[in-house]
C-alpha cells in the first residue's frame, strides 16, 4: 500500500543494513510482481529498481516478446539500439532527441530538459497532460512564487484558478498537510480559497453523516510535540487540523466547539507551539455538556502532567455516571516503546489515527467499546461504510485507468490506482 518511491527507499535501507535473507527476497519478489509496469519503474525509479535487483538477486520479468530488455536497460544500456517498451526507448532517445523527453514521466523529463537547455515554461506547457496532481501542485506553487516576485502581486488569475481546481479534489488530510506547508502570509492571502477547499474535503469525507452528530466539542493538540518527526513533519498537527474541519462537518450546524491547546481561535494559522494543557481544555469542553467529546492528541499531557487523565476519571465516575457525553481519544502518534498509542485514561477509549478520514469509523468503534451501541449497530455501520467505499470506487474514473486519468494523477498522491 506504500507509494513506490518509499518502497524503493526501503529496498536501499535493507541493502545498507545488510539484510537479504530468503523471506525478505520473497517479499520483494512478490511486491515487484504486483507492479503494473516495471518498465515505468525502471525509468522513474531507475536507481531503486537497479539496486534492489542487484542486491537481492530479483528476477526481472521478461516483456511480451520473451526478451530480457529490462535487464539490458538497467545493467547494459548500450547493448541495444532500440527497445520494444515505449518508455524504455523514449528514455534512450531522450539523450539526443528533444521530442522524446515529452513521452517520459515529468520528473525524468525535467532532467533531460535541463540537459538540452529547454526553457522550463515550455516543458511545463507540453508536459501538463502527463503530470500527476501533486506534480501540478508543486509546479504551480513555484509558478505562483515566481509570478509574485516578477510582478510584485500575489498571483495571476489563471494560475490561481488552476490551483483552486486542484485543491477541491485533494483528500482532506493531504490537503491539511499542504496548508501547513505554506508560509503564514500565504495562508492569510489565500484564506478564502484554503478554507473553502478544506470544508469541501471535510463534507466529502463526512458523506451521509454530515450534521448528524449533534453538539460536538473537539480538543485539538497544536503543542510543540505536534511538529512530528524528521520523516513526517507536521503530520500530527495536520491530522488535528483535518479532524477540526471534519468534526465541524459532522456536528449539527453551529453546534461545534473547537478548543486548541494553544488557545488559538484561527485554525488556518495553527503552528506547533507551547506545552500541552489537555486537562484545562477538556474542562472547558465538558463545561458545555456536549453530546460527543473528541480529543486529538499524542497523549503527552504536561501542563500539569496527568491532569487530563484525572479530569476524565472524575468526570466519568462522579459527574457523568449516566454517560450523557460520549468521549474518545484519537492519537496520531505511534508509541514505539509500547507498540501502541499513548492513552489518557482507562475510562476513555483510545485509538490510533493516521488519516482524519478514518475518524467517523474510529468513533463508531469506540461507541461499541463503551457499550453505547450493540454488535448489530456496529455491523450495520461498517456495512454502510464498505458499501460507500465500493460505490465511490465504482464511480471513481481513476479506477478505469491503470495509472489514473491521463494527466490527473491519482486521488491519493502519486501512486497509481493498483494500490486501491
Residue with cell 463545561: 287
Positive or negative, the Cα torsion across 151, 154, 160, 163? positive
| 405 neighbors 397 (Cβ within 8 angstroms) | yes
Q: pLDDT at residue 294 above 80?
A: yes
Of the chain, the percentage scoring pLDDT greater than 90 comes to 47
Which residues, 6 or more positions from 72, have their beta carbon under 8 angstroms from its beta carbon?
Answer: 79, 80
Residue with cell 525509468: 43
Q: Which three cell numbers stand for residue 383?
A: 456495512
Domain covering 212-385: architecture:
3-Layer(aba) Sandwich (3.40)
Residue 196: the pLDDT is: 94
Burial readout 82-113 (b: 16 or more C-beta within 10 A, e: otherwise): ebebebbbbbbbbeeeeebbbbbbbebbbebb
| 267 neighbors 258 (Cβ within 8 angstroms) | yes
- Name the maximum alpha-carbon separation found in the chain: 81
Alpha helices in 251-395 (DSSP H): 278-286, 307-314, 359-369, 375-395
Residue with cell 488530510: 173
| 95 neighbors 102 (Cβ within 8 angstroms) | no
State the DSSP string of 200-265.
HHHHHHHGGGTT-S-SEEEEE--SGGGGB-SSSBTHHHHHHHHHHHHHHHHSPTT-EEEEETT--S
Per-residue model confidence as pLDDT tens digits over 135-192: 777 776 665 555 555 555 444 344 444 433 458 788 999 999 999 999 999 999 999 9
Report the Cα 163 to chain-centroid distance in Å.
18
Residue 241: the pLDDT is: 97
Positive or negative, the Cα torsion across 412, 342, 236, 366? positive
Residue 95's pLDDT band, with cuts at 50, 70 and 90, is very high
Alpha-carbon separation of residue 65 from 29, 61, 69, 82, 103 (angstroms): 21, 11, 10, 14, 22
Residue 336 or residue 73, greater confidence: 73
| 115 neighbors 125 (Cβ within 8 angstroms) | no
| 163 neighbors 189 (Cβ within 8 angstroms) | no
Residue 230: the pLDDT is: 74
User: Which of 1-10, 64-73, 236-245, 298-307 holds the top average pLDDT?
Assistant: 236-245
Q: Which three cell numbers stand for residue 19?
A: 539484510
pTM comes to 0.73
Residue 70: the pLDDT is: 87
Helix (H) or strand (E) holding 294: strand 292-296
Which one, of 281, 172, 271, 279, lies nearest residue 228 by Cα? 271
Of the chain, the percentage scoring pLDDT greater than 70 comes to 85
For the chain, the structural domain boundaries read: 4-93, 133-198, 212-385
> What's the CA gap between 272 and 219, in Å, rounded?
15
Per-residue model confidence as pLDDT tens digits over 380-394: 988 988 888 888 765
Residue 360's pLDDT band, with cuts at 50, 70 and 90, is very high
Amino acid at each position: 500500500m506504500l507509494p513506490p518511491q518509499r518502497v524503493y527507499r526501503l529496498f536501499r535501507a535493507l541493502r545498507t543494513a545488510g539484510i537479504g535473507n530468503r523471506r525478505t527476497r520473497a517479499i520483494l519478489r512478490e511486491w515487484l510482481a504486483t507492479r503494473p509496469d516495471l518498465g515505468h519503474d525502471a525509468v522513474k525509479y531507475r536507481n531503486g529498481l537497479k539496486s534492489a535487483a542487484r542486491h537481492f538477486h530479483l528476477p526481472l520479468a521478461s516483456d511480451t516478446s520473451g526478451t530480457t530488455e529490462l535487464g539490458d536497460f538497467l545493467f547494459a544500456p548500450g547493448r541495444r539500439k532500440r527497445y520494444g517498451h515505449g518508455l524504455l526507448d523514449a528514455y534512450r532517445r531522450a539523450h539526443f532527441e528533444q521530442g522524446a523527453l515529452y513521452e517520459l514521466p515529468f520528473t525524468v523529463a525535467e532532467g533531460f530538459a535541463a540537459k538540452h537547455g529547454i526553457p522550463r515554461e515550455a516543458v511545463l506547457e507540453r508536459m501538463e497532460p502527463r503530470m500527476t496532481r501533486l506534480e501540478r501542485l508543486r509546479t504551480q506553487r513555484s509558478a505562483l512564487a515566481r509570478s509574485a516576485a516578477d510582478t510584485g502581486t500575489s498571483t495571476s488569475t489563471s494560475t490561481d484558478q488552476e490551483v483552486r481546481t486542484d485543491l477541491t479534489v485533494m483528500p482532506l488530510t493531504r490537503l491539511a498537510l499542504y496548508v501547513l506547508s505554506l508560509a503564514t502570509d500565504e495562508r492569510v492571502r489565500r484564506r478564502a480559497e484554503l478554507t473553502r477547499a478544506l470544508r469541501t474535503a471535510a463534507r466529502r469525507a463526512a458523506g451521509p453523516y454530515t450534521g448528524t452528530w449533534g453538539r460536538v466539542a473537539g480538543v485539538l493538540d497544536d503543542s510543540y510535540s505536534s511538529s512530528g518527526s524528521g520523516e513526517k513533519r507536521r503530520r500530527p498537527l495536520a491530522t488535528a487540523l483535518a479532524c477540526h474541519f471534519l468534526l465541524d462537518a459532522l456536528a449539527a450546524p453551529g453546534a461545534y466547539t473547537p478548543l486548541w491547546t494553544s488557545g488559538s481561535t484561527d485554525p488556518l494559522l495553527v503552528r506547533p507551539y507551547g506545552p500541552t494543557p489537555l486537562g484545562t481544555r477538556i474542562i472547558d469542553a465538558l463545561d458545555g455538556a456536549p453530546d460527543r467529546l473528541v480529543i486529538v492528541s499524542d497523549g503527552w499531557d504536561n501542563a500539569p502532567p496527568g491532569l487530563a487523565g484525572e479530569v476524565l476519571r472524575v468526570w466519568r465516575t462522579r459527574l457523568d455516571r449516566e454517560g450523557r457525553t460520549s468521549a474518545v481519544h484519537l492519537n496520531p502518534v505511534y508509541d514505539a516503546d509500547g507498540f501502541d498509542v499513548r492513552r489518557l485514561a482507562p475510562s476513555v477509549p483510545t485509538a490510533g489515527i493516521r488519516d482524519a478520514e478514518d475518524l467517523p469509523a474510529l468513533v463508531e468503534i469506540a461507541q461499541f467499546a463503551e457499550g453505547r451501541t450493540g454488535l448489530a449497530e456496529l455491523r450495520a455501520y461498517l456495512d454502510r461504510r464498505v458499501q460507500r467505499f465500493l460505490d465511490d470506487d465504482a464511480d471513481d474514473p481513476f479506477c478505469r485507468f491503470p495509472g489514473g486519468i491521463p494527466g490527473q494523477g491519482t486521488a491519493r498522491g502519486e501512486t497509481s490506482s493498483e494500490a486501491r
